[in-house]
Amino acid sequence: MKRLGILLSGRGSNFQAIADNIAAGRLDAEIAIVISNRPEAPGLEIARERGLPAISIPSKGLEREPYDRLLLAGLDERRVELVCLAGYMRLLSAAFLRAYPLRVLNIHPSLLPAFPGLDAQHQALEHGVKYSGCTVHFVDEHLDAGPILLQAVVPVLEDDTVESLSARILKEEHRTYTEAIRIVLEGRYRIEGRRVIRW
Ligand code: GAR
């Protein structure tokens, strides 16, 4: 299982980090397709510049299930085996997840279950936590839920802004996502309840 499908909605720096790690031989996988639900996502342009297949399937005005059917068709066509959400800002339907059982990963910029949803770094600053970080988890039909594969911790400093905290977390995201994908591709884990046991 090596063919990755990347879903994104924006900047695409996590996608870039994955592509860089593959190109450098640090991750034995290939990016079979990059799909964005937003045609103007910079991540799409970056993918095309790198010569990777990249398409936009606009989600505007579409209900979740019909939209996800279009997504699934795009992924099936490219024989995608593992789906990686990289700043993909939509919930996936149960029908989508049935097509890729425990084959969808997400990265989130907080130590889940703290601060799910939008603006996780802002939420962490406002709450006054002293540490935050990022989480890579298997996706289920709930928002930023699902069994946790890996987390990385960063300190929250007194003079942090959303930008400075986000940058510190993002650096860890880029490292952690590739490591999590490697664990899944190599099958070095099992799931017991919510717990992901790795070896
Ligand atoms: C990343 O910080 C990612 O963790 C976050 O969006 C950003 C995308 O950046 N995802 C979520 O908040 C998902 N709930 P990128 O487009 O540069 O990878």
Strand order across the beta sheet in which 54-56 lies = 54-56, 30-36, 3-8, 82-85, 104-108, 131-138, 148-155, 195-198, 189-192
97 and 71, same structural domain? yes
pLDDT for res 138: 98
123 and 67, same structural domain? no
Domain boundary pick from 51, 71, 101: 101
Residue 108 annotated among the catalytic residues of the structure: yes
Output the average pLDDT for the chain. 97
Confidence category of residue 136, pLDDT binned at 50, 70, 90: very high
Give 33-86 pLDDT, tens digit per residue.
999 999 999 999 999 999 999 999 999 999 999 999 999 999 999 999 999 999
Q: Is the CB of 120 under 6 A from ligand 1?
A: yes
Total domain count for the chain?
2
pLDDT for res 1: 63
Domain span holding position 122: 106-199
Return the CATH number at 15: 3.40.50.170
Q: Is the CB of 146 under 6 A from ligand 1?
A: no
Domain boundary pick from 45, 69, 101: 101
pLDDT for res 186: 96
